[in-house]
A = this chain, B = another copy of it.
Amino acid sequence: MTRELKSRLTPDIAAVETVLDGLLSTAAADGESERPQRLVSAMRHATLSGGKRLRPILVIETARAFGRSDGGVVQAAAALELVHCYSLAHDDLPAMDDDDIRHGKPTVHRAFDEATAILAGDALLTLAFDAVVAEMVHPDPAVRLALVRALARAAGVGGMAGGQMLDLLAEQGGRAEDHIRRLQAMKTGALIRFACQAGAMLADAGDSEIERLTCFGATIGLAFQLADDLLDVEGDPVELGKAAQKDAAAGKATLVALKGVNWTKAELRRLVSEADDLLDPLGERAATLRAIAHFVAERRR
């Protein structure tokens, strides 16, 4: 990440982490009994142990490009990050991808135990829906309801969870290019796509603008995954904070494995240029989003 982009995003990340810290309090909210210390600790470990915060950043910077920038946007952004962090806690489980290290730290089931990691993921997903209906997110209840629905569809059987299912099945076959693309559009693409969609919705962008930003999200979602696959082949485990070359070892279907490194790098350039085009109508207001798209495609970790 360039120093300039980093300094622009640092306050976003700090704001999101402050909201996450508040949501993950041991104090029971209205309508709750008590919050067990161990479960809260595991949820905090899953959420507050680092990470790029790409999805919440995209919510915040998309809303900002359309002129909205306040605590309600950060609240919605934090809700989305809870969904992302739940998915990592579950994907890392022994029955799934069986990872011991994430962001350079033990995964949730290694730091606690499997049962606690399952429950922490469940509780994070549940908390996300609590967080996204907060009044501050948007004054119009209809918009908050639309966000609940869109988030559920991005995360559920026809989105992220479905994509993880396809990915597990892909280990036993199914390596055609279009299958891998669909899988990745669901597994990692859906939440990144939702991030940009939500940012535009939160800022009351028009329907065609929401649609264009949703496309932008889908495009950088695919770029993110390609860059990830490339890092798995070429990356340094120390810089990554997790094991490298896991995909090949697990026999995972990736476009890098299917089409090669050079094709992947060219495809990444094509996607960044497509993302740039989608932002064109926003002009200078989209400068940060444009920089994020470049970072996503060119990142080294």
Interface residues of A (CB under 8 A from B): 28-36, 38-40, 43, 86-87, 90, 93, 95-96, 113-116, 118-119, 121-123, 125-127, 129-130, 133, 141-142, 144-145, 148-159, 161-166, 168-169, 182, 185-186, 190
Q: Are A95 and B122 in contact (CB under 8 A)?
A: no
Q: Contacting A38 at CB < 8 Å: which of B43, B165, B186?
A: B165
Q: Which residues of B contact A150 (CB under 8 A)?
A: 31
Distance between Cα atoms of A182 and B149 in the complex (Å): 32
Additional 13 contacts, C-beta under 8 A, given A36-B166, A119-B161, A130-B153: A29-B158, A34-B182, A39-B161, A90-B119, A93-B115, A118-B118, A119-B165, A121-B122, A127-B152, A129-B151, A133-B145, A133-B152, A141-B145
Distance between Cα atoms of A31 and B185 in the complex (Å): 12
Distance between Cα atoms of A67 and B155 in the complex (Å): 36
Q: Are B28 and A158 in contact (CB under 8 A)?
A: yes
Question: Would you give the shortest CB distance from A246 to chain B, in whole angstroms?
Answer: 16
Question: Would you give the shortest CB distance from A39 to chain B, in whole angstroms?
Answer: 4
Counting every copy of the chain, the complex holds 2
8 contacts between A and B (CB under 8 A): A32-B156, A34-B186, A35-B162, A43-B157, A93-B115, A95-B118, A123-B157, A133-B152
Distance between Cα atoms of A211 and B190 in the complex (Å): 39
Q: Which residues of B contact A168 (CB under 8 A)?
A: 115-116, 119
Which among A38, A40, A119, A151 has the highest number of chain B CB atoms within 10 Å? A119
Q: Which residues of B contact A145 (CB under 8 A)?
A: 133, 141, 144-145
From A33, which residue of chain B is reached at the shortest CB distance?
A: B186
From A158, which residue of chain B is reached at the shortest CB distance?
A: B32
Q: Which residues of B contact A186 (CB under 8 A)?
A: 33-34
Q: Contacting A33 at CB < 8 Å: which of B28, B36, B190?
A: B190
Q: Are A182 and B142 in contact (CB under 8 A)?
A: no
Q: Are A36 and B130 in contact (CB under 8 A)?
A: no
From A152, which residue of chain B is reached at the shortest CB distance?
A: B130
Distance between Cα atoms of A162 and B43 in the complex (Å): 11
Question: Would you give the shortest CB distance from A165 to chain B, in whole angstroms?
Answer: 4
Q: Contacting A36 at CB < 8 Å: which of B40, B96, B155, B157?
A: B157
Q: Are A153 and B115 in contact (CB under 8 A)?
A: no
Q: Contacting A148 at CB < 8 Å: which of B87, B119, B133?
A: B133
Q: Which residues of B contact A153 (CB under 8 A)?
A: 29-32, 130
From A130, which residue of chain B is reached at the shortest CB distance?
A: B152
Question: Would you give the shortest CB distance from A4 to chain B, in whole angstroms?
Answer: 35
Q: Which residues of B contact A166 (CB under 8 A)?
A: 36
Q: Which residues of B contact A154 (CB under 8 A)?
A: 31
Q: Which residues of B contact A161 (CB under 8 A)?
A: 39, 119, 122-123, 126
